[in-house]
């Protein structure tokens, strides 16, 4: 189930509206080419699996990409717990892919001393119940690609199966829940969780008011 770029933007407005209401940390980010995507930073607790890869090496709510520094202090970031032994700082970007016509999750993981994790270390951090699939499909599951807006390496949950996943979830391409449902389905692979509250109704006008806040643009 694919979606258009316009529907993707509507789904982001929905995500931002609920995130503002829940204090969940998703922020609107404007790239140099005026595309909008979603960004979230948080601390995630992960367990390094002993597997085949072990031991290998803005005020208005709209951020410019240049404001998102890899060296930002992690002490004030929320902690997302996943049955864990190690804490990582994670940066998640939700971007639209015009080629696949679906959202794509780009992310980076850092140790608390600021070191970027290698691809092998990210593979090892994938929860145990996804490891079998990772072994079978690692080059079409989690890969490292150039970020389409930032032009530097990010890890990516490959979008080649997103359309079929969303079809299996019976999520309509016209639904404002599309991006939230997708994040809820795939986020656990990389330590990202989404509250069930994103799928609960709010009183009339509440989401719209927050959505209007999120649509502010930076001055040129």
Active site (catalytic) residues: 160
Give SS3 for 43.
Answer: strand
In the block, which residue shows the tokens 């940066």?
91
Supply the Cα-derived Rg of the chain in whole angstroms.
17
The encoded tokens of residue 75 equal 């002490």
Rounded CA-CA distance 125/110 in Å is 12
Cβ atoms of 101 and 4 closer than 8 Å: yes
Give SS3 for 204.
Answer: coil
Rounded CA-CA distance 218/40 in Å is 19
């Amino acid at each position: 189930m694919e979606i258009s770029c316009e529907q993707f933007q509507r789904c982001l407005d929905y995500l931002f509206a609920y995130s503002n209401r829940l204090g969940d940390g998703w922020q609107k980010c404007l790239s140099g080419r005026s595309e909008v995507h979603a960004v979230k930073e948080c601390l995630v607790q992960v367990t390094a699996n002993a597997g085949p890869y072990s031991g290998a090496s803005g005020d208005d709510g709209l951020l410019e990409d240049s404001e998102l520094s890899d060296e930002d202090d992690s002490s004030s970031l929320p902690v997302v717990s996943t049955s864990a032994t190690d804490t990582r700082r994670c940066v998640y970007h939700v971007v639209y892919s015009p080629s696949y016509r679906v959202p794509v999750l780009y992310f980076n993981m850092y140790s608390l001393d600021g070191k970027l994790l290698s691809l092998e270390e990210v593979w090892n951090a994938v929860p145990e119940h996804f490891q079998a699939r990772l072994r079978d499909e690692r080059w079409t599951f989690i890969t490292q690609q150039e970020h389409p807006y930032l032009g530097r390496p990010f890890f990516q949950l490959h979008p080649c199966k997103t359309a079929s996943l969303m079809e299996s979830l019976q999520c309509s391409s016209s639904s404002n829940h599309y991006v939230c449902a997708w994040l809820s389905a795939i986020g656990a692979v990389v330590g990202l969780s989404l509250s069930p509250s994103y799928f609960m109704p709010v009183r009339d006008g509440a989401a719209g008011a927050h959505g209007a806040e999120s649509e502010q643009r930076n001055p040129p």
